[in-house]
Amino acid sequence: MSTRPRWLSSLTQHGSKPPYFLKHRTSNGFIIATVSLAVFTDMFLYAVIVPVIPFALQRRGHVAPDRVQYWVSVLIAVYGAALLAFSPVCGWIADQTSSRRSPLLLGLLALLGATAMLNVGSSCSILVAARVLQGISAAVVWVVGLALLADTVDQKDLGRSMGYVGLGMSVGTLIAPLLGGVVFDNAGYNAVFGMAYALIGIDIILRLALVEKKVATRWDTDAQEDQASDMVSATLTQENQIDPRFPSNSDPEKATASSSSAQPPDTLSSTPTLPIHDAIIHDAAIPSPHPKLRHRLPPFLALLYSRRILAALWGSLVQASLITAFDSVLTIHVASVFHWHSTGAALLFLPLVIPSFLAPLAGWISDRRGPRYLSAAGFLLACPPFVCLRYVNTDTMSDKVLLCGLLAAIGLSLTLTFPPFMAEIAVVVEAKECKMKSKGGKGWGKGGAYAQAYGLFNMAFAGGCLVGPVWAGFVRNKAGWATMAWSLGLLSAITAVPTFLWMGGWIGEVGFREWKAKGEDEEAIDGER
Q: Which has more confidence, 237 or 407?
A: 407
CATH number of the domain that residue 197 is part of = 1.20.1250.20
d(CA 349, CA 171): 10
Residue 276 lies in a domain: no
Q: Which residues contact 389 (CB under 8 A, 6 or more apart)?
A: 403, 406, 481, 485
The answer to whether position 39 is within a domain reads yes
Residue-wise pLDDT for 131-175, tens only, equals 889 888 888 888 888 888 877 887 777 778 888 887 888 778 777
DSSP character for 188? -
Q: Average pLDDT of 200-214?
A: 82
User: Could you count the other beta carbons within 10 Å of the beta carbon of residue 440?
Assistant: 14
**pLDDT band with cut points at 50, 70 and 90 for residue 215:** low
> Sorting pLDDT into bands at 50, 70 and 90, what band is 261?
very low
pLDDT at 493 > cutoff 80: yes
Does 230 map to a domain?
Answer: no
CA distance 348 to 400: 9
Say if residue 314's pLDDT is above 70: yes
Closest CA to 365 of 109, 160, 59: 160
Q: In this predicted structure, which of 77-81, 220-224, 276-280, 398-402 has the lowest mean pLDDT? A: 276-280
Q: Which of 416, 298, 302, 277 is nearest to 360 (CA)?
A: 416
* pLDDT at residue 239 in the model: 42
* Per-residue pLDDT reduced to its tens digit, 262-299: 444 444 344 344 343 333 333 334 444 445 555 566 77
Q: What is the mean pLDDT of residues 476-501?
A: 92
Query: What rounded mean pLDDT belongs to the chain?
Result: 75
SS3 325: helix
Q: What CA–CA distance (Å, rounded) separates 250 from 384?
A: 84
pLDDT digits (tens, 9 = 90+) for 86-109: 888 887 777 777 677 778 888 888
Assess contact for 248 and 241: CB atoms under 8 A.
yes
**How many domains does one find in the chain?**
1
Max Cα-Cα span within the chain: 101
Whole-number pLDDT of residue 275: 40
Q: Is residue 8 part of a domain?
A: no
- 478: in domain: yes
Query: Any idea of the CA torsion for 167, 173, 178, 183, to the nearest 10 degrees?
Result: 110
Highest mean pLDDT, choosing among 11-25, 224-238, 380-394, 420-434: 380-394
Residue 169 sits in which domain range? 21-217+297-515
Instruction: Provide the pLDDT for residue 335.
Output: 86
C-alpha R_g of the chain: 29
DSSP 16-42: SSPPTTHHHHTSHHHHHHHHHHHHHHH
Q: Please, which pLDDT band fits residue 238 given cuts at 50, 70 and 90?
A: very low
Span 359-379, average pLDDT: 88
Question: pLDDT value at position 342?
Answer: 67
CB atoms inside a 10 Å sphere around CB 324: 27
Helix/strand/coil percent split, the chain, to 5 = 80, 0, 20
| Residue 314 lies inside a defined structural domain of this protein | yes
Mean pLDDT across 389-404: 91
pLDDT value at position 321?
92
Is 500 a residue whose pLDDT tops 60? Answer: yes
224 falls within a domain? no
Write down the H helix ranges in 188-220.
189-209, 213-216
Three-class SS string for 392-419?
Answer: CCCCCHHHHHHHHHHHHHHHHHHHCCHH
- pLDDT tens readout for residues 429-478: 877 777 777 766 666 666 567 778 888 888 888 788 778 888 898 898 88
Confirm whether 369 is domain-assigned: yes
Q: What DSSP element (H or E) covers 346?
A: helix 342-347
pTM: 0.65
Indicate the pLDDT class of residue 30, thresholds 50, 70 and 90: confident
